[in-house]
Amino acid sequence: MAQPTDTPLRTQEEITARVKALEAMLIEKGIMTTEAIDRLAEIYENEVGPQLGAQVVARAWTDPEFKERLLADASAACAEMGIGGLQGEEMVVVENTDTVHNAIVCTLCSCYPWPVLGLPPNWYKAPAYRSRIVREPRKVLAEDFGFPIPDEVEVRIWDSSSELRYWVLPQRPAGTEDLGAFELAALVTRDSMIGVGPVGTP
């Protein structure tokens, strides 16, 4: 189906040339280097991503005292595990329970907790999700993500309008009592920490 925002403004060739030209000027002005680009890409492609958030969730599931600290001050608790930094200076973890389901959005731009989830997927930054998740979250979760939330469970949407960075502590799935933190972390999906998808099953 055609989308209202399907037709790109510029071709990839045009964007590529324009960014390269801008890059060349910033390099000559002493503002940028190609090594800095490569380093940043390396960090967010290979070092900082949802595998870090998954480790935090798995620890919270297996260590009640850590979970308490995480819900009280997420940045401090994550720092214990060496996790934190840019776009997660003040993180807030919101907990899913039998009666509450949480999901995050940034309706005004694209704020997202980089240190635990990495850079956001494109759908998170695009108009469809940002416009609709605050107005018809049950419909979006059920129809767009195939993840219906029962009516008796309250849906809480966290619109990240300040520098606080919200993310979701999903519920530990049943039947995982025998798993250790390492196996549990493998079940934790990026979408479950955004609040738009389930945790995996063992």
Partner 1 sequence: MNGVFDLGGTDGMGKVQTVENEPVFRAEWEKAAFAMFSNCFRAGFFGVDAFRHSIEQMEPADYLLSNYYEHWVHVVESRGSAKGVIDLAELEQRTKFYLDNPDAPLPRREDPELLAFVDAVVKSGAPANRPTDKIARFKVGDRVTISADSPRGHTRRARYIRGRTGEITGAHGAAIYPDSAGNDGPEAPEHLYTVRFTAEELWGPETAEPNNTVYFDVWEPYLTLAS
Paired residues of 92 in beta bridges: 166
DSSP strands (E only) in the chain: 90-95, 100-105, 154-159, 164-169
The first and second tokens of residue 79, run together, are 């720092």
Residue keyed to tokens 């934190």: 84
Q: Select the span of 53-61, 63-71, 115-123, 174-182 touching partner 1 (CB under 8 A).
A: 115-123
Residues 148-167 that bind partner 1 (CB under 8 A): 151-164, 166
Q: Is 109 known to be catalytic?
A: yes
Q: Determine, following the binding rule CB under 8 A, whether residue 81 of this chain makes contact with partner 1.
A: no
- The minimum distance between CB 134 and partner 1, in angstroms, equals 5
By CB under 8 A, tell whether 24 contacts partner 1. yes
- The answer for residues whose C-beta is within 8 angstroms of residue 161's C-beta and 6 or more apart is 106, 107, 108, 111
Point out which span in 51-59, 61-69, 129-137, 172-180 binds partner 1 (CB under 8 A). Answer: 129-137
Instruction: Give me the sign of the Cα torsion angle 181, 183, 187, 188.
Output: positive
Look up residue 134 and give its amino acid: V
**Min dist. Cβ of residue 4 to partner 1 (A):** 5
Told to check if 113 binds partner 1 by CB under 8 A, we report: no
Question: By C-beta, is 61 or 114 nearer to partner 1?
Answer: 114
Active-site residue (options: 75, 78, 106, 160): 106
Catalytic site residue 110? yes
Q: Is residue 78 annotated as a catalytic residue, yes or no?
A: no
Q: Does 84 bind partner 1 (CB under 8 A)?
A: yes
Smallest gap from residue 180 Cβ to partner 1 (A): 27
Query: Per-residue b/e over 143-152, b at no fewer than 16 CB within 10 Å?
Result: eebebebeee
Amino acid letter, residue 125: K
Q: Which residues contact 160 (CB under 8 A, 6 or more apart)?
A: 104, 105, 106, 111, 112, 166
Minimum CB distance to partner 1 smaller for 90 or for 183: 90
Of 51-59, 64-72, 119-127, 177-185, the segment contacting partner 1 by CB under 8 A is: 119-127
Element (DSSP H or E) covering residue 18: helix 12-28
Catalytic residues: 106, 109-111
